[in-house]
Amino acid sequence: MVIVLKNNYDQVQLDKLTAWIREMKIEPHFTHGESQTIMGLVGDTSKIDIDMLGALDIVESIKRVSEPYKQANRKFHPEDTIITLENGAKIGGGNLMVMAGPCSIESEEQLTEIAMAVKKSGANVLRGGAFKPRTSPYAFQGMREDGLALLIKVKEKTGLPVVTEIMDYEHLPYFKDVDIIQVGARNMQNFELLKHLGRCDKPILLKRGLSNTLEELLMSAEYIMSEGNEKVILCERGIRTFETATRNTLDISAVPLLHQMTHLPVVVDPSHATGKAALVPSMALAGIVAGTDGLIIEVHNNPQKALCDGAQSLTPAQFDELAGKIAGVKAVAYR
């Protein structure tokens, strides 16, 4: 940690600060210039609250030198984390996981049909929303526990592991047969939820918040890991920018950057990132060449008739075509 002092700092205050830092067993090193003094702190500075230091009259600015995330940090865990589901499906370390399915679960028939189709095309996990976070209280909120029951039924019929979103840790009992629990973008900093999920023994798919930095995403992963659950999968799903041509802006560079920063698997959601079905295939492939460990893609069997799914869903036929391209690109340019 580097502390830049104000030009005209008060020596008494600096002595207090120095003493306080030494109490934490950290030795400050000073660089005195003509018009600047810099304090370098080396050692375990993870306990120092950067906002506290910033409050001091004598401090001009502070720069963290070491990352505030520990358990997610690749520096202390150089090998990729590989997460294995109950049925043996793997993600991370070169294992690509393809999750596909409808935005919302509507009926057993719909879900079964889509599940069979995406499985045939090569998806190895079924996605489907039961608890749906909606901006409007007047919009369809999902089939909730009934939807979860259908999802488990279709898991048993098809043998596909399932991933679905949780919005409230009180609902955890309904998730006991779910293979991967998803935390949505809006809940990325719902810290009470994260702590509870940290006490589960299930993989957690943690989506990046609409305007959260990669460091904040890792700090949220850290909330889960620090409670004991190390099976965290990170998900880039688009960020909020000034551009209105897409629902969000897919930050594709997040994939290689996260791989530098952390050992955890990274997944791309091209459906939510763009909000437009026509863009999903090329963005999915962009994820592959960027080194993603997984994809999560919306597929719906009849977007036209149903009138109840987003503009971002592929048809099973479109998904099948994409699956072929994924295999082709993966063969020539994957990590």
Interface residue with a second copy among 20, 119, 149, 158 (CB under 8 A) is 20
Q: Between residues 161 and 270, which has the closer beta carbon with respect to a second copy? A: 270
Distance CA 270, CA 277 (A): 9
Q: Between residues 98 and 285, which has the closer beta carbon with respect to a second copy? A: 285
- Which tokens hold the place of 75? 């520096």
**Interaction between residue 199 and a second copy (CB under 8 A):** no
Distance CA 199, CA 252 (A): 31
**Element at 285 (helix H, strand E):** helix 280-290
Least Å from the CB of residue 83 to a second copy: 21
- Among 69, 61, 1, 70, smallest CA distance to 36 is for 61
Distance CA 58, CA 61 (A): 9
Binding part of the chain for a second copy, among 62-70, 90-98, 105-113, 120-128 by CB under 8 A, reads 62-70
Binding mask 83-112 for a second copy (x = CB under 8 A): ------------------------------
- Which tokens hold the place of 37? 């003094």
Using CB under 8 A, count the residues that bind a second copy. Answer: 108
Packing angle, helices 214-225 and 254-261, rounded to 10: 50
- Among 301, 269, 294, smallest CA distance to 115 is for 301
Q: Binders of a second copy among 172-191, rule CB under 8 A?
A: 186-187, 189-191
Distance CA 107, CA 204 (A): 25
Binding part of the chain for a second copy, among 78-86, 109-117, 119-127, 323-331 by CB under 8 A, reads 323-331
Give Dmax over CA atoms of the chain in angstroms: 76
Q: Between residues 156 and 170, which has the closer beta carbon with respect to a second copy? A: 170
Assign residue 307 a region (left: φ > 0; alpha: ψ between -120 and 50; beta: otherwise): left
Q: Between residues 160 and 222, which has the closer beta carbon with respect to a second copy? A: 222
Least Å from the CB of residue 140 to a second copy: 7
Distance CA 175, CA 162 (A): 10
Contact yes or no for 100/160 (Cβ under 8 A): no
Interface residue with a second copy among 85, 219, 266, 295 (CB under 8 A) is 219
**Element at 194 (helix H, strand E):** helix 191-197
Least Å from the CB of residue 16 to a second copy: 8
Q: Binders of a second copy among 232-251, rule CB under 8 A?
A: 239-246, 249-251
- Which tokens hold the place of 293? 């460990």
DSSP for 21-52, written as a single string: HHHTT-EEEEEE-SS-EEEEEES--TTS-HHH
* Burial (0-12, 13-18, 19+ Cβ within 10 Å), 96: buried
Q: Binders of a second copy among 117-156, rule CB under 8 A?
A: 133-140
Least Å from the CB of residue 265 to a second copy: 16
Binding mask 260-279 for a second copy (x = CB under 8 A): x------------xx--xxx
**Interaction between residue 303 and a second copy (CB under 8 A):** yes
Q: Between residues 94 and 191, which has the closer beta carbon with respect to a second copy? A: 191
Interface residue with a second copy among 89, 116, 172, 289 (CB under 8 A) is 289
Q: Between residues 20 and 119, which has the closer beta carbon with respect to a second copy? A: 20
Least Å from the CB of residue 156 to a second copy: 28
**Interaction between residue 311 and a second copy (CB under 8 A):** yes
Q: Between residues 57 and 79, which has the closer beta carbon with respect to a second copy? A: 57
- Which tokens hold the place of 215? 């460091």
Least Å from the CB of residue 123 to a second copy: 19
